């Protein structure tokens, strides 16, 4: 990790930080050296603790962040007060891209830290000023945002699998590859996922998820080790 990374200089001893730097984020990867210098110099950095909300659903979408370290969950609350678990973002992921869609946009979800988390990013005011002074920054952001749309489209493909057991396994595989770690013999999801969490991710009733999970464990496709789950390599 570069010694010039301010996040590393501040928090490298406290938690594991992503090698990704705000200036090398995918939305900025075609910028010039001078423009990358502007990005890195303008970024704000903040430390959060487990249970802290980075933003709440309905808050003005006036900031966006790189998760430099830690993990957050994204939840949506319905009008009747129900909480819907949508996704988990890990160190190295980008959140708050809603800021780029509309000057009057509001966050459609709540982002809550699952563990100690460091963010590195921009407010709307800072970003707008950068784009005014360096128009190419704004142009490249527009182009790269299309990749996020493609990723979400791919994820929705797992919802079309008819067999619930296979659908659940597909979702677990995606979560393991994105947020887990590869060890000898398989991918490990080291944080707990409740059957209610999985029901929202898969789009099925919690009771059905329980039955499908039992079947996956019985077949050896999923192995439970305490709170962690292992998906053996095929």
Contact 130, 137 (CB under 8 A): yes
Please say which residue of 115, 138, 157 terminates a domain. Answer: 157
What are the residues facing 23 on neighbouring strands? none
- 33: helix, coil or strand? helix
Does residue 102 share a domain with residue 184? Answer: no
- 118: helix, coil or strand? strand
Please say which residue of 110, 135, 157 terminates a domain. Answer: 157
pLDDT, tens only, 72-100: 999 988 888 888 888 888 888 888 776 77
Note the pLDDT of residue 227: 81
Does residue 125 share a domain with residue 64? Answer: yes
Does residue 94 share a domain with residue 47? Answer: yes
Does residue 145 share a domain with residue 55? Answer: yes
Q: What's the mean per-residue pLDDT of the chain? A: 82
Q: Using DSSP bridges, classify how beta strands 44-48 and 94-95 pair: parallel, antiparallel or unpaired.
A: unpaired
- Rounded to 5 degrees, φ, ψ at 230 are -115, 130
Note the pLDDT of residue 74: 92
Does residue 120 share a domain with residue 21? Answer: yes
Note the pLDDT of residue 45: 92
Does residue 140 share a domain with residue 62? Answer: yes
Domain count, the chain: 2
Which carries the bigger pLDDT value, residue 54 or residue 25? Answer: 54
Does residue 193 share a domain with residue 97? Answer: no
DSSP 35-84: HHHHHHHH-EEEEE-TT-EEE-TTSB--EEEEEEESEEEEEEE-TTS-EE
Distance CA 132, CA 195 (A): 47
Distance CA 164, CA 170 (A): 10
Please say which residue of 157, 180, 205 terminates a domain. Answer: 157
pLDDT, tens only, 31-54: 888 888 888 888 899 999 999 999
Segment 169-195 mean pLDDT: 85
Q: How far is CA 47 from the centre of its chain?
A: 17
Does residue 149 share a domain with residue 174? Answer: no
Note the pLDDT of residue 64: 86
Region of poorest pLDDT, from 2-6, 93-97, 113-117, 205-209: 2-6
What is the pTM assigned to this prediction? 0.61
Closest CA to 54 of 70, 40, 41, 43: 70
Does residue 153 share a domain with residue 39? Answer: yes
Domain enclosing residue 176, as ranges: 161-232
- Percent of the chain exceeding pLDDT 70 equals 88
Dihedral over Cα of 25, 110, 148, 64: its sign: negative
Q: Count other C-beta atoms under 10 Å from residue 76's C-beta.
A: 16
**CA-CA distances (angstroms) from residue 136 to 37, 204, 214, 228?**
14, 44, 52, 44
In a domain, 1, yes or no: no
- Rounded to 5 degrees, φ, ψ at 9 are -65, -30
Which carries the bigger pLDDT value, residue 175 or residue 52? Answer: 52
Does residue 130 share a domain with residue 221? Answer: no
Does residue 147 share a domain with residue 65? Answer: yes
């Amino acid at each position: 990790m570069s010694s010039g990374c301010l996040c590393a200089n501040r928090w490298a001893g406290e938690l594991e930080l992503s090698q990704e730097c705000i200036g090398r984020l995918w939305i900025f990867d075609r910028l010039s050296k001078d423009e990358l210098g502007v990005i890195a110099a303008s970024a704000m950095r903040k430390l959060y603790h487990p249970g802290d909300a980075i933003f709440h659903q309905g808050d003005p979408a006036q900031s966006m962040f790189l998760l430099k370290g830690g993990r957050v969950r994204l939840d949506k609350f319905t009008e009747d007060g129900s909480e819907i678990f949508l996704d988990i973002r890990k160190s190295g992921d980008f959140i708050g891209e809603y800021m780029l869609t509309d000057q009057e946009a509001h966050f459609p979800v709540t982002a809550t830290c699952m563990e100690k988390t460091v963010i590195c990013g921009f407010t709307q005011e800072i970003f707008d000023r950068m784009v005014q002074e360096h128009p190419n920054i704004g142009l490249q952001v527009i182009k790269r945002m299309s990749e996020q749309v493609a990723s979400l489209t791919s994820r929705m493909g797992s919802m079309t699998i008819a067999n619930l057991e296979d659908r659940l396994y597909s979702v677990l595989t995606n979560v393991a590859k994105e947020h887990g770690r590869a060890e000898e013999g398989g991918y490990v999801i080291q944080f707990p996922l409740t059957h209610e969490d999985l029901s929202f991710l898969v789009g099925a009733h919690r009771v059905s998820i329980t039955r499908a999970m039992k079947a996956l464990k019985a077949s050896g496709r999923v192995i439970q080790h305490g709170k962690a789950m292992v998906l053996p390599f095929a």
